[in-house]
Amino acid sequence: MNLAPQVERYLPHQVLELVGTISREADRLGQRAYLVGGVVRDLLLGHPNFDLDLVVEGDALELAERLAGTTQAKLATHPRFGTAKLSCGDFTLDLATARGETYARPGALPTVTPGTLSDDLLRRDFSINAMTISLAPDDYGELVDPYQGKVDLEHGLVRVLHSRSFCDDATRILRAVRYEQRLGFSLEPETARLLERDIPMLRTISADRTRHELELILREKHPEHAIRRLGELGVLPEIHPALKGNGWIAGSFDKARQLSRAGQLPSLYLCLLVYHLSEQQNERFIERLNLPNSLADVLRHTLRLKTGLPFLNRPSIRRSEIYRFLREFRPVAIQSNVIASEFRSASLKLELFLTTLRYVKTSVDGERLRELGFPAGPELGIALRRLQTARLDGEVKTRAEEEKLALSLNPQGD
Ligand code: CTP
């Protein structure tokens, strides 16, 4: 089957030009280059995907260097693995020399040996990701599909290529569910059986790799589908025994999308995922995934704020008190409590802080206080804080009113 028309139709002009250059330069070097993996799958489905993966029969590094020279793309190479990455504006191109892989033990990083295109496809996760499109001029656009990935795409199936697949690399358990839910597919029955059998193999995967796969899930359009499915299959407890993929998660993720910026979503989803964990359970979750400090703090703030919500729920609380209480918390942790809190009145106060209070500034600053005759020293700080309280609580509304209040606070004034 020739997919040249799909390549022309679905790849944007800039990417097509690059594909043409790859085809020519590989041929000049006596190499054969193939598009592989996600881009082939998505071309067949008619979905856009501009992250190109290329497998090269020959030397991917040599080809990458040549391409970097002709296209001005930024080049990063990993000679040990025979891989290179070219970044060009909005899209990236990953190149790898065709290789075979063996696993010294389950979950270990693979030992890589040079191999044929067939070896390279056999080492991949699922049939739908194990197809290539040739870019060689003599058979440009030809689909290479030794494991019937196209048939599986047509039947909506995620299927592993051999029975040790999840043992070799248990991140594939998370990947299988991600693709299944993203594409609205099913796990092929034997694949589902192997997946359930090999769930304990997730323990062989490092915290960093597990976190990476979870992050990929949380970057999906509707991650709650994969989370629910992971719960249903019994995978979630392998990440943390208290994690749930229930209706509450679905509802709160949905609300998160309505209320928040796209860039904030993955960390917000993570906060919601741990929202019903105890602080101790949360610490184990942080450790299990080796979360970076900044993200770990967001999760800790989320749970700490949750226990502090009754303080905000008081009807008589002043705006300055809300401000002083909440300014210690990370905005994403506050946002997660807006979404998850059962206290309607506390939620409104959290929103008030996020939309308004945190931006309130006094017109009079320290320098102006000095001009107004304030002595340097602790009184200056106390006066600034008093002015801020007055601004937040609406006691002063204009610069003139602030200055009047400032003058009345000057210990050296009359
Ligand atoms: N791959 C694999 N096993 C893994 C990770 C990746 O076999 N554990 C292979 C698959 O062939 C996959 C390709 O490497 O298609 C590229 O991986 P990645 O960029 O993670 O996935 P994409 O297929 O590009 O999918 P996505 O749409 O999620 O980016």
Amino acid at 102: T
Contacts of 149 (CB under 8 A, 6+ apart): 41, 126, 127, 128, 129, 130, 131
CATH 3.30.460.10 is held by the domain 1-154: yes
- In which band, very low, low, confident or very high, does the pLDDT at 202 lie, cut at 50, 70 and 90? very high
Comparison of pLDDT for 284 and 363, the residue scoring more: 284
How is the chain split into domains, by residue range?
A: 1-154, 292-359, 366-409
pLDDT for res 413: 61
Amino acid at 4: A
What share of the chain in percent tops pLDDT 70? 99
Residue 328 CA: distances (Å) to CA of 66, 73, 306, 368: 52, 43, 14, 27
Which residue matches tokens 């990476």? 212
From the CB of 172, is ligand 1 less than 6 Å away?
yes
pLDDT for res 81: 79
Give dist(CA 365, CA 363) in Å, integer.
6
Closest CA to 91 of 11, 10, 24, 15: 15
Q: What is the pTM of this model?
A: 0.89
pLDDT for res 54: 93
- In which band, very low, low, confident or very high, does the pLDDT at 142 lie, cut at 50, 70 and 90? very high
- In which band, very low, low, confident or very high, does the pLDDT at 310 lie, cut at 50, 70 and 90? confident
From the CB of 152, is ligand 1 less than 6 Å away?
no
The model's pLDDT over 245-282, given as tens digits with 9 standing for 90+, comes to: 888 999 999 999 998 888 889 999 999 999 999 999 99
Give the residue, by CA position, lying nearest to ligand 1 atom 23.
Answer: 38
pLDDT for res 104: 76
From the CB of 145, is ligand 1 less than 6 Å away?
no
The model's pLDDT over 314-327, given as tens digits with 9 standing for 90+, comes to: 888 999 999 999 99
Average pLDDT over residues 390-400: 89
Q: Is 59 left (phi over 0), alpha (psi -120 to 50) or beta?
A: beta
Radius of gyration of the chain (CA): 28
Measured in angstroms, how far is the CA atom of residue 4 from the centroid of ligand 1? 22
For residue 39, the ligand 1 atom closest to its alpha carbon is: 24
The model's pLDDT over 46-94, given as tens digits with 9 standing for 90+, comes to: 888 878 899 999 888 998 888 888 877 889 988 877 889 988 777 788 9
Comparison of pLDDT for 397 and 183, the residue scoring more: 183
